[in-house]
Amino acid sequence: MNVSVASSHSRRTVANMLALAGGHSGSTLVALAMTPFFYGTLGAAKYGLWMLFFSLVQYASVVDFGIGPGIVKYVAEDHTLGKHDAIRQMVTFASLFYLGVGAIFMMLFVIFGHSIIALIKMPEDIRPDAYPLLLGVAGYFFLSQLSFTLHGMICGLGRLDVSATIRAVSLIAWVFASFMALRLGFGLVGMLAGSFASLIVSMPILYAFARKEFGHVYCWPTAIHWGPVRRIFVTGGWIQLSSIMYLIYAQTNGIVIGLAVNVAAVAVYDLASRLSRSIRAIAYYVNAALLPAMSALEARSGPTAIHKALVDGSRYVAAISFCVSGFVISTAPIIFAAWLGSRAQNQRALLIELLIVLCITAVIENYIGVPSTVLRATGAPKVEAIYTVTTAFMSVLLIVLLVPRFGVLGVVVGSLVGSLIGGVLFLISFGRIRQVSIMDSFGKPLAKLFFVTVVSATATWLAVQFLVRHGTPSRPVAFLELAVGGCVYFTIFLTLLGVTSVFSSTDLAFVKRIVPTRFVIPIDRRFVRFLFAGR
């Protein structure tokens, strides 16, 4: 592949990442801004029950045999090779499959829903509303999975910017509808109605764009052949195992807290995890854009062309993840004061402890993300599946051991240790299979970034303690102090990046190649050259 074509594909991949980041960041800010209102209006118990039901239903909704990621991978490959009929067959089959699985699990929730409700510790006054709410949340999730097929198709076509925009519109519709319903006094029913409103808004837009970009999206069921569908299941079997194990690992926390502690504690956990999920989203931006790009790259040039993208992508994701997590951890007291105000004041110390552990866990997961995407893109997800099984097993085991004594904090610490053990084993296996030097490709950049983050976060934490020494500030003052803390942190962090040479002149050349020409002059400024080349 010549330089101009490589630059074009690199530019498209980065543009998709930026579109995902922009759309998700805007959506996240809207959701974070509304969370104090939802929490304050519903109360800790009802808000915790809402989040717990979402965790429960996601266990059932993951049973798709890896069809979602498979759609992205094979749509990208088939579109590159011009096999449009195969794409229609995959999309049609996936939609019918989701409908069938949704119907089966809805029936199971109808039959066993009361037994599930009986296990949850909750105030008696909200128990009568729990069963219909559980069925409503389940119905929403299974209907929303139909949209996953169209999102996967659009992503496979390389239009992640459109997918991100539609997701943002969907979230805004949910927030607006839920806000109005809560203001009118509909409580949890209003939250559920807002969820269905988001589907009503997003589904027609998804279909209209897919048809405009691709033509006829579906085919007659009788036209489906086993060949295109079989590929999804062959690759998707391992991806399905990874998805199930990751879901167990990710969602066990909230469920264990709801069963072993109470639903109010689930609300506290959710407040802390919302901020850490913004760090996890960093890997999502990159990996969602890399999966179709690498799948198409392998179809054109073979697996050897992926090595540089693997090493550089891992380093970029790690740098951003370390940077954001260090800032969030070092300014956590001010963030909660600015975000929640006086709400959850008596839980502030626990929120900070939970946030620190969750942020560290998010960085570990992000670092594994790019190698995992490489395995998916090259049709070899077995190692990722082994990693997720190991991580899920270790995390659940440690959570069960720690939660009786340490409560909510024991849950997140168990997840952190399990993630660390699984991550180390994964990188060792990945390096052996792909013949990649773990120390050169992963170890040295990680050590430098760890040093840069620890120094920057420690200095900022000391500055934050000086700012808040007179107690929790008001929300306007907290936002001002957050800006001051951010200036301190990012100044130190960026300076140390240049000193330690985390990036190189090769990275600067890559940036110049992918950005529009009108931005090249600012990129050539002395500070930017120092950041990338240390001089």
Model pLDDT for residues 201-248, shown as the tens digit of each residue: 888 888 888 888 788 888 888 888 877 777 776 665 556 655 665 555
Rounded to 5°, the CA angle 407-412-418 comes to 125
The token pair that represents 105 in the structure block:
């699990």
What distances in angstroms separate CA 244 from CA 64, 88, 236, one per listed residue?
Answer: 10, 27, 12
Kindly report, residue by residue over 149-160, the tens digit of the pLDDT.
888 788 777 777
The rounded distance, in Å, linking the Cα atoms of 532 and 535 is 8
CA distance 90 to 153: 9
Backbone angles phi, psi at 487, to 5 degrees: -60, -45
Single-letter residue type at 362: A
Helices (H), 261-306: 263-301
The total number of residues written for the chain in this structure:
535
- What is the separation, in whole angstroms, between the first and last Cα of the chain? 33
pLDDT in tens, 462-494: 888 887 776 666 777 888 888 888 899 999 998
Give CA–CA dist 500/447, Å, rounded: 10
SS3 category, 253: helix
Calculate Rg over the CA atoms of the chain: 23
Rounded Cα–Cα distance for residues 88 and 228 (Å): 10
- Closest alpha carbon to 31 in 263, 252, 257, 198: 198
Cα→Cα distances 509→63, 268, 271, 503, 514, Å: 43, 45, 40, 11, 9
> How many Cβ atoms are within 10 Å of 487's Cβ, its own excluded?
12
Average pLDDT over every residue of 128-150: 82
Report CA dihedral (458, 461, 467, 471) to the nearest 10 degrees.
-140
Longest dimension (CA), the chain: 72
Burial class (CB in 10 A: 0-12, 13-18, 19+), 180: middle
Q: How confident is the model at residue 26 (pLDDT cuts 50, 70, 90)?
A: low
* Exposed/middle/buried for residue 162 (C-beta within 10 Å: 0-12, 13-18, 19+): buried
**Distance (Å, whole) CA 437 – CA 435:** 7
Predicted confidence at residue 453, as pLDDT, reads 92
The stretches of 120-159 forming alpha helices (DSSP H) are 130-156
270: Cβ contacts below 8 Å, ≥ 6 apart: 47, 48, 51, 254
pLDDT exceeds 50 at position 272: yes
User: Whole-angstrom Cα distance, residue 132 to residue 152?
Assistant: 31
Tens of pLDDT, residues 420-429? 888 888 888 7
Q: Quick one: pLDDT band at residue 167, thresholds 50, 70, 90? A: confident
Residues 6+ apart with CB under 8 A from 453: 322, 323, 325, 326, 493
Can you give the pLDDT at residue 435?
73
Question: Where does the pLDDT of residue 407 fall: very low under 50, low under 70, confident under 90, or very high at 90 and above?
Answer: confident
Which DSSP state fits 122? -
Residue 247 · residue 395 · CB < 8 Å: no
Q: How confident is the model at residue 108 (pLDDT cuts 50, 70, 90)?
A: confident
Torsion sign across C-alpha atoms 373, 377, 383, 388: positive
Selection from 91-100, 259-268, 386-395 with the highest mean pLDDT:
91-100
pLDDT in tens, 340-364: 776 666 777 888 888 898 889 888 8
